Amino acid sequence: MTLRRRTFLMSSMAAIAAPALVSSAGAQSGWPQRGRTLRMIVPWPAGAANDALGRLIAERLQQKFGVAAVTENRVGGAGLLGTKAVVQADPDGYTLLASAFNTAVMPLVLKAAADFNPETDLEVLGRTAVAPLVCVMSASLPQKTLPEVIAAAKAEPSKWNFAISSLGSAGHLATIDFLRRAGVNIQMVPYRGTQPALQDIMGGNVQLLIDPSFALLPAALDGSRVRALGIATKERSVLAPSVPTMAEAGMPGFEFQSWYGIWAPKNLPADIANAISGLIQETMADPEVVQRLRTTLIEPISESREATRAFIRSDIVRATELLRLVDFQPS
């Protein structure tokens, strides 16, 4: 994410963390207690979308329930370090996880996560938002369209590389599907985040990258060093109408998005889980939140815990099948 985009995203989140009435009625278990601090752990660097969304929910929890809430960035192990900290925490409602798609598929892509089951070792409280993915390329290359890129990659695969912002990210799975659909076999190069991957795209060190549109489209719309090949949605974005959908670009059916959510340790009491889930749904349905997030190419989600669990199950099934098709081995 560029500094400009990161600053805009964070300032947008700060603006919509508006003061709310403090609720005097906590959960039946006595949660939250005054004097206790709620920790929102983000297993990714500050400034990313999951960080900004986690901070938004933490601030809303603080405002509604009148307790201190802090956000901690525990980075390492492709998100596993911070995630395990929440898995091992007491299920008392004072330690939460703000993460993304990666959390659901960690055991599929990381050897170190082999003993972790995201569906049973964590309690999902709700998704917060989704972000469509966009495929970009280095503008230093002569190719202009997706068919031209695929033809060139087939002809000389050794001259092409696909940057991966993080193992297990939505962009990683989308890249696997892209290569499968295109029928090309080029090397994937993992990075520690979108920003270093994007910098290498700009510098022409790698050729292709698929990641969330809010992080890539600002550079692509500038057009000087990054070129957008297509956005992985059914329809064009109103914020980037010049960018074709992947179907229009020549890859029908290619639709991918990243998503973000809030988790807690397993065995969290139901009344606490419902209280936090209700606040998440309330926050992400707030008209001001919706309006501001959409200007950053992020779409808020307000859904029940049951709907979130069903969605995650379907996403894990999809990811498992994609990884099986290419015989992917956890690293």
**Between β-strands 95-100 and 257-265, what pairing exists: parallel, antiparallel or unpaired?**
antiparallel
Region of residue 295 (left: phi > 0; alpha: psi -120 to 50; beta: else): alpha
Q: How is residue 108 written in tokens?
A: 């599929």
Residue 56 has pLDDT above 50, yes or no: yes
Residue 217 has pLDDT above 80, yes or no: yes
- For the entire predicted model, the pTM comes to 0.86
pLDDT digits (tens, 9 = 90+) for 290-299: 999 998 889 9
User: What's the confidence (pLDDT) of residue 14?
Assistant: 55
pLDDT digits (tens, 9 = 90+) for 101-126: 999 999 998 999 989 999 999 999 99
Q: Which of 149, 314, 312 is nearest to 228 (CA)?
A: 149
Q: How far is the CA of 34 from the CAs of 27, 269, 280, in angstroms? A: 13, 18, 21
> What is the pLDDT confidence band of residue 186, given thresholds at 50, 70 and 90?
very high
Residues of the chain with pLDDT > 70, as a percent, come to 91
